[in-house]
Amino acid sequence: MKNRIVKTLAVMLMLLALMAGMVIPASAEPPYESYFYNVNGVWVGSANAYSVSEYITPGTLGVEITSLTDMVAYDGKIFVLDKGSADKQAKIIILDQTFKVLSVIDQFVGVDGQPENLSQPEGIEIYKYLGSENDGKYELTVCDTRNARIVRMDTTGKFVYVYEKPDLSILDKNGEEQSYVPKKVVFDNTNRLYVIAENINQGLLCLDPDGSLNSFFGAPEVTADMLTRIWKKVLSLAGSESLLSYTPTEYSNIVSDAKGFVYGTIAAPDIESFQQALTTLAGDPLRSTAANVVRLNAAGEDILKRMGYVPNCGDLILSVVTLGSGGTNTMEVTETTGFVDVALGTNGIYSCLDRTFGRIFTYDEDGNLLFIFGNGGNNECAQVGAVRSPAALIYQGDNIVVMDSAYSTLTVYSPTDYGAKVIKAAQLYYDGEYEASEKIWAEVLVRNSNMYYAYIGTGKALYRNGEYAEAMKCFREVENRENYSKALELYMKESFGNSFGIIVVILLVLFVGTKVYSGVKKFRAFMRNGVKKVM
């Protein structure tokens, strides 16, 4: 009897802890299997790079939440945006680094000094003042989505500036005015604004610092399927216009880096181009046509590096999903990885959040895959570490925080020992500390022998240190011919000294001479045999 009571109390305490949104210990086993793609693009298991360290719920915060849409980290704080609903006010929740609530802004003082409400805001960003005299001064910038404007305020909710609807008359059709529904916004290092607006698929809106339209920026490409292209050729002009109009895909999220470059994600990439990109090699131009994450320069050109063995576009395996209620109402749809957000780490590392399965794909500056982790939830329960409706992610140091709009939660992932080694090795190599990075890459290979980038990192570090023979072994392991050839050339030079060039010339002469001698010999034999046949 006593044991039953003790067990019952234990179960009740566990339930109360979950209801209160208590922090989950970092040692908790993640509800997903981490994996990787090897040098041949084959799915292989992997050590977990990240594990859940904290799980933040409305109960944890002590704040009523309707629907989380975005967040941004700055100045040791995290600014979380709840867009509210028709009968519940939108709000900005300001958290400290330990996820304790510092304040809540549910109204702001408007331009006329009267309190105003945000209407279903979907994006939040930091406005940083330029100039050394304003060092450290910043404000919050919110896409006041259904009020068709972007509002700037300080961290107490005091109004500073409003960016009203820019002149979009160039997009008006048949006398109907183009609507303006701003969803996401970022600033570059000159404080120009880049805005994702609903139903505007010419790319991002680039606005001058005063909010006036400068240009359309970075329109992603899309490719119609082959059958449609054929029909457009066959049909008359009027007939072809009745076909589905293919227009550029809309961005799902944007973020800018310290140099002013804008990273953008696309949640629904073109399937045909995506499939073509899955089989491409490093540097193939086709990879950029299927991009679901881009890095745009000042001219709106995508300059993201795509030099990894596998494309930096998420999963390489397409999923076939059955939709409908059965019978004739059932259809199968091919799903690709689509990213809803991108977060920038240190030294060129960035992570992308998959809209379908809640997975996080992390790459280095050159586009090499570092690790994959995370998993989607389901309709029945919010399993800790599973994300049902991924909305946003940010870096908090090396930690990654993921927002789930369905469960109104924030999941904090911290690097495991394995993940920390991968990050450290990539950062050391980025900083030019090749010998130090080589040692850590060697430790990574012990944990994950399929980690091709560890072979490349080790090989490059050995190459930089003049250990060409050992570097060649690493490059040969992953069939990296370009770097193998470079290491071989220097190995030969080192082995033969200044005579290397002479040796190469001699070998070439011998090779050519052998070929010439063989050809002359065959010609003479032919002439002799030919003369005998004539006689």
Q: Confidence class of residue 238 from pLDDT cuts 50, 70 and 90? A: very low
Per-residue confidence (pLDDT) for residue 156, from 0 to 100:
93
Per-residue confidence (pLDDT) for residue 248, from 0 to 100:
54
Per-residue confidence (pLDDT) for residue 333, from 0 to 100:
64
Residue 60 has pLDDT above 80, yes or no: yes
| SS3 call for 440 | helix
Q: Is 464 exposed, middle or buried (0-12, 13-18, 19+ CB in 10 A)?
A: middle
Specify if 474 maps to a domain. yes
Q: Do 482 and 444 fall within a single domain? A: yes
> What is the DSSP-derived secondary structure letter of residue 172?
-
> What is d(CA 339, CA 361) in angstroms, rounded to the nearest whole number?
10
| Gyration radius from the chain CA atoms | 29
Q: Name the more confident of 264 and 525.
A: 264
Question: Among candidates 77, 76, 45, 82, which has minimal Cα distance to 63?
Answer: 82
Specify if 480 maps to a domain. yes
**445 Rama sector, left if φ>0, alpha if ψ -120 to 50, beta otherwise:** alpha
Residue 276 has pLDDT above 70, yes or no: yes
Per-residue confidence (pLDDT) for residue 322, from 0 to 100:
59
Q: Do 508 and 489 fall within a single domain? A: no
Work out the angle between the directed axes of helices 500-534 and 481-496 (0-180°, nearest 10). Answer: 100
pLDDT tens digits along 177-219: 999 999 999 999 999 999 999 989 889 999 999 999 999 998 8
User: How many domains does the chain contain in total?
Assistant: 2
**385 Rama sector, left if φ>0, alpha if ψ -120 to 50, beta otherwise:** left
Specify if 338 maps to a domain. no
Q: Do 449 and 478 fall within a single domain? A: yes
Which two tokens mark 213?
């339209």
- Find the mean pLDDT for residues 390-401: 95
Neighbours of 8 (CB within 10 A): 10
Specify if 508 maps to a domain. yes
Work out the angle between the directed axes of helices 481-496 and 452-464 (0-180°, nearest 10). Answer: 30
Which residue shows structure tokens 């049909």? 235
Q: Do 451 and 482 fall within a single domain? A: yes
pLDDT tens digits along 104-140: 999 888 778 888 899 999 999 999 999 888 888 999 9
pLDDT tens digits along 335-360: 788 999 999 999 899 999 998 888 99
Q: Confidence class of residue 227 from pLDDT cuts 50, 70 and 90? A: very low
Per-residue confidence (pLDDT) for residue 12, from 0 to 100:
46
Specify if 511 maps to a domain. yes
Specify if 469 maps to a domain. yes
Per-residue confidence (pLDDT) for residue 20, from 0 to 100:
40
Specify if 477 maps to a domain. yes
Q: Do 489 and 529 fall within a single domain? A: no
Q: Do 485 and 444 fall within a single domain? A: yes
Which two tokens mark 279?
């089989």
Q: Is 510 exposed, middle or buried (0-12, 13-18, 19+ CB in 10 A)?
A: exposed
- Find the mean pLDDT for residues 60-74: 95
Q: Confidence class of residue 237 from pLDDT cuts 50, 70 and 90? A: very low
Per-residue confidence (pLDDT) for residue 330, from 0 to 100:
63
Q: Do 477 and 520 fall within a single domain? A: no
Residue 254 has pLDDT above 90, yes or no: yes
Per-residue confidence (pLDDT) for residue 249, from 0 to 100:
64
Determine what percent of the chain is predicted with pLDDT higher than 70: 81
Per-residue confidence (pLDDT) for residue 501, from 0 to 100:
63
Sheet holding 50-56, edge to edge: 50-56, 409-415, 399-404, 390-396
Determine what percent of the chain is predicted with pLDDT higher than 90: 45
Specify if 478 maps to a domain. yes
- Find the mean pLDDT for residues 85-89: 90
Q: Name the more confident of 47 and 246.
A: 47
> What is d(CA 390, CA 399) in angstroms, rounded to the nearest whole number?
17
Per-residue confidence (pLDDT) for residue 344, from 0 to 100:
97
pLDDT tens digits along 403-444: 999 889 999 999 999 999 999 999 988 888 888 888 898 899
Q: Which parts of 114-173 are beta strand (E)?
A: 115-116, 123-128, 138-144, 149-153, 159-163
Residue 454 has pLDDT above 60, yes or no: yes
- Find the mean pLDDT for residues 68-94: 95
pLDDT tens digits along 152-182: 999 999 999 999 999 999 998 888 899 999 9
DSSP structure string for 282-314: TT-THHHHT-SEEEE-TTS-B-----SSS-SSS
Q: Note down the domain range covering 504.
A: 499-534
Q: Confidence class of residue 301 from pLDDT cuts 50, 70 and 90? A: very high
**Of 251-255, 305-309, 313-317, 378-382, which one has max mean pLDDT?**
251-255
DSSP structure string for 351-387: EEEETTT--EEEE-TT--EEEEE-EE--SS---TTEE
Residue 151 has pLDDT above 90, yes or no: yes
pTM (predicted TM-score)? 0.81
> What is d(CA 508, CA 515) in angstroms, rounded to the nearest whole number?
11
